[in-house]
Amino acid sequence: MIFEDFELATIAVHEQVSLRVRTAGSGAPVVLLHGHPRTHTTWYQVAPLLRDAGFTVVCPDLRGYGQSTGPAPDANHTAYSDRAMASDVVRLMQALGHDRFAVVGHDRGAYVAYRTALDHPDQVTALAVLDGVPIVEALERADARFAELWWHWFFFTSPHAERVINADPMAWYQPDRAAMGEENYQDLCAAIARPSTVRAMLEDYRSGLHVDRRADEADRAAGKRISCPVLVAWSRDDDLESLYGDPTQIWSRWCTSPVRGAVIHSGHHMAEEAPEQLAGVLATFLAP
């Protein structure tokens, strides 16, 4: 059984948004945000290790992902923007009694995490970004090699994406049962089988190319920076370093303090492939 001794709840954070969330532990609070197409269960090995290291651990499904609900998509793609999801995170943590907290995000969750730090500096005590750079930085560097490796970013904006994915979501996502663990695998399979969840996940990407990019551009032009301590970690066997070199150099322009870096010995899904190393890196970074 995963998440043993964690409390499972569904908490309303907006009129049309309720987040499924698991919580456990005592001490400094930290919220873990998953990526696409995962749910919060991707943290099933990391979360207990952080709890045992003395943290209060909060693992939600992002708006529209997993078993969390979300509003109907809108024409301007604002409903699934990082800013909207960051607001969800703050309201969730406040509902759980945490006015200040650390935030860790992987993949799409990384974008929500840094937007939370930018928009809510008084609430975020520390930020850990896993396998990501700011969206505007990625798009400004999008060359032919990026398009070949990350073509799904652009396909997901197509009006045909829902039809293609929902025709056979298991064939599209090809989840690895053995690598994920049975309960994590089953949770993901249930999520991607719901067309409404697939639609919400695609809206996340559509917002990224437009709404989220404009938000990054506006913050950069205004000189807005992340003021809390920042850790950037990336997978040794994924493509982030080959695309960008040392990602901390990109992040340093977005932060007021030196950025720490760490290489995780895994492929992209580091929480599932290298949970002990990842939990250790996070615990060391988040320690008071």
DSSP bridge pairs for 60: 21
Q: How far apart are CA 274 and CA 191, in angstroms?
A: 24
Residue 244 and residue 119 in contact, taking contact as beta carbons nearer than 8 Å = no
Helix axis angle for 82-95 and 108-119, nearest 10°, is 70
Please choose, from the candidates 9, 35, 52, the residue with its C-alpha nearest in 3D space to the C-alpha of residue 271. 35
Distance in angstroms (rounded) separating the CA atoms of residues 257 and 287: 17
Tokens read off for 278: 């990842």
User: Of 3, 10, 128, 130, which Cα lies nearest the Cα of 57?
Assistant: 3
DSSP code of residue 209: I
* In the block, residue with structure tokens 């996502």: 173
Tokens of 172: 């599209």
Q: Report how far residue 65's alpha carbon sits from residue 114's, in angstroms, rounded to the nearest whole number.
A: 19
Residue 287, number of CB atoms within 10 A of its CB: 11
Residues designated catalytic: 107, 268
Neighbours of 39 (CB within 10 A): 23
Say how far apart CA 155 and CA 140 lie, in whole Å: 18
Q: What is the 8-class DSSP label of residue 255? A: B
